[in-house]
Amino acid sequence: MKAYRVNVNGNVYEITLEVIDKADIKAPAAPAAAPAPAATPAAPAQAGSKTVTAPMPGNILKVNVQNGQAVKSGDVLMVLEAMKMENEIMAPCDCTVASVNVTAGTTVEAGAVLCTLA
């Protein structure tokens, strides 16, 4: 054992440290694997369609599109709230909305399919 005196923000503490050999050090146990998140049911993507996924976990605040609606590149499809910030999910290209997989108030995980575009 070795004794030390430590000054932290003007407060003096006396501590004692135990000296050990490297052979006595045990590797920390590996953390238990987290269960896989449940897959959210999504409409199957059709050939030539593009899926829009959630870039991060959060809550859907607004859904601005409906099935069959034509959208232009950059149009706001929906608003995702994450970490108290509103993130606009925009259309990547000129297309038609094939299916909307979420509603306002839905909580989504990163990578969840929000809508499918054709």
Give the integer Cα–Cα distance in Å for 70 and 112: 22
Question: Domain 50-117 has what CATH class?
Answer: mainly beta
Q: What angle do CA 75, 78, 79 make, to 5 degrees?
A: 115
pTM comes to: 0.58
Residue located via tokens 């920390």: 28
Task: Report how far Cα 117 is from the mean position of its chain's Cα atoms.
Answer: 22
Q: Is the pLDDT of residue 39 over 50?
A: no
Q: Tell me the pLDDT tens digit for each residue of 50-105.
A: 899 999 999 999 999 999 999 999 999 999 998 889 999 999 999 999 999 999 99
What CA dihedral angle connects 57, 61, 67 and 73, to 10 degrees? Answer: -80
For the chain, domain boundaries: 50-117
